[in-house]
Amino acid sequence: MLEQYRTVRAPGSREIVIRKSRFIGHCLPVETEEEALQFIEDIKKQHWNATHNCSAYMIGERDEIQRQSDDGEPSGTAGKPILEVIRNQNVKNVAIVVTRYFGGIMLGAGGLIRAYTDGAVAALEAGEVITRVLRREVFVDIDYTWLGKVENELRNRNFLTGETSFTDRVKLLCLPRNDEADNFKAWITDLTQGQALVTEGRRLYYSEGE
With a CB cutoff of 8 Å and minimum separation 6, the contacts of 187 are none
- Decide: 203 and 135 in contact? Cβ < 8 Å: yes
* Range 4-127 classified under CATH 3.40.50.1820: no
pLDDT tens, position by position, 14-63: 999 999 999 999 999 999 999 999 999 999 999 999 999 999 999 999 99
Q: Do domains 4-127 and 133-207 have the same CATH topology?
A: no
CB atoms near residue 147 (< 10 Å): 15
Residue extents of the structural domains in the chain = 4-127, 133-207
| Residues lower than pLDDT 70 in the chain | 209-210
Provide the pLDDT for residue 119: 98
Beta strands in the chain, from DSSP E residues, in sequence order:
4-8, 12-18, 21-29, 52-59, 65-69, 94-101, 129-142, 161-166, 170-174, 197-207
Q: How many H helices and E strands in the chain? A: 5, 10
- Decide: 112 and 78 in contact? Cβ < 8 Å: yes
- Decide: 189 and 153 in contact? Cβ < 8 Å: no
Question: Looking at domain 133-207, which CATH architecture does it have?
Answer: 2-Layer Sandwich (3.30)
CA distance 114 to 81: 8
End-to-end, the C-alpha distance of the chain in Å comes to 19
Provide the pLDDT for residue 210: 55
- Helix (H, G, I), strand (E, B), or coil: what is residue 43? helix
Query: Position 195: which residue type?
Result: Q
Provide the pLDDT for residue 106: 85
Provide the pLDDT for residue 209: 59
